[in-house]
Amino acid sequence: MGMSEFYGPADEAESIATLHRALDLGINFFDTADMYGMGANESLLGKAFKGQWHKIIIATKFGIVRDPNDASIRSVNGHADYINKACDDSLKRLGIDVIDLYYMHRLDKTVPLEESIGAMAELVRAGKVRYIGLSEVSAETLRRANDIFPITALQSEYSLWTRGTEQTLLPLCQELQVGFIAYSPLGRGFLTNTISNTMHLSDKDFRKQSPRFMGDNFARNQQLVAELTEMANDKHIKPAQLALAWTMAKFPHVIPIPGTKRQSYLEENIKATDVKLTADEVAKLDDIFAPDKIAGDRYPESAKSMLDS
């Protein structure tokens, strides 16, 4: 996502080099969406991976509709006709014949779930999609959807400072054998301990409107990251590596997808797979980042209406 929008200016050459380096390092699962850069991110991956799709598992999403005249205006569409068109458009931008994993990016609460999931199931039967997934839905919605057609993956925000899925969604995913894809596992960069303030962020950077990056919330959350950094220093690793290792140590079916625009951070992040945490270390991190210690909501009020949780 960050290669096309939301996290400052884009650099296509560096983005493509980073994608190629990821493939060289053995990463084969790439996540995008039609709303990232209003289609530009899918086109970027299509350009970067042309001729190499046999090496890759690609996941993309539909459902968040942006106003072409004002991209900040968004709505959700889960109607069958829209889903069919969105899929065809994504296939064209990516330059492929089939999408490995196709997510409903947000639940359209005005459309019967049977219609939306039914349309996705038809895409599987038509050979345009291999597996289907959901994003940011409640446990109740996940169970209902899985009764209609098998759900392969659920993508929701999950990190040390966003743990709301632990009580119901993560256990349900284990029960239903649904993979859990953790987005923003580095807290939108906050857990890397490289953001001392938001002054250097561009005005279009999403984090400028994020409650956790504002005022007293920012300062309080920095105190938690200082403790994370101290633990990381003791293990001679980076805070980002410790945060990623924690997500993989908590539940066996969690796959974190840290976003980056640069090769240097990519190479740093992948080393988290070599970090082994003891039960005591996991428990200590759980305590440092107990949900009641996190300051601020994860989304501004304007975005909360799009969440099914």
Among 14-23, 149-158, 257-266, which stretch is predicted with the lowest mean pLDDT?
257-266
Q: Which CATH superfamily is domain 12-298 in?
A: NADP-dependent oxidoreductase domain (3.20.20.100)
43, 71 Cβ separation under 8 angstroms: no
Phi, psi values for residue 16, rounded to 5°: -65, -40
- Domain boundaries defined on the chain: 12-298
User: What are the pLDDT digits (tens) for 74-130?
Assistant: 899 999 999 999 999 999 999 999 999 999 999 999 999 999 999 999 999 999 999
Binned at pLDDT 50, 70 and 90, residue 218 comes out as: confident
Bridge partner list, 39: none
**Strand 70-76 relative to strand 64-67, pairing:** antiparallel
Q: What is the pLDDT of residue 8?
A: 67
Taking 70 as the threshold, does the pLDDT of residue 179 lie above it? yes
| 184 dihedral zone (left: phi>0; alpha: psi -120 to 50; beta) | left
Q: What is the pLDDT of residue 306?
A: 73
Query: Structure tokens of 48?
Result: 């970067």
Residues classed as catalytic: 36
Give the pLDDT of residue 293.
94
What is the DSSP code (8-state) at residue 299? Answer: S
User: b/e for 176-211, b at 16 or more Cβ within 10 A?
Assistant: bebbbbbbbbbbbbbbbbebeeeeebeeebbbeebe
Residue 307 confidence (pLDDT):
76
Give percent of the chain with pLDDT exceeding 70.
93
Summarize the confidence of residues 2-22 as an average pLDDT.
86
Chain center to CA of 212:
18
Give the tens place of pLDDT for each residue, 219-250: 898 999 999 999 999 999 999 999 999 999 98
Burial of 78 (0-12, 13-18, 19+ CB in 10 A): buried
| Better pLDDT: 189 or 299 | 189
Are 33 and 61 within 8 A, CB to CB? yes
The DSSP call for residue 38 is T
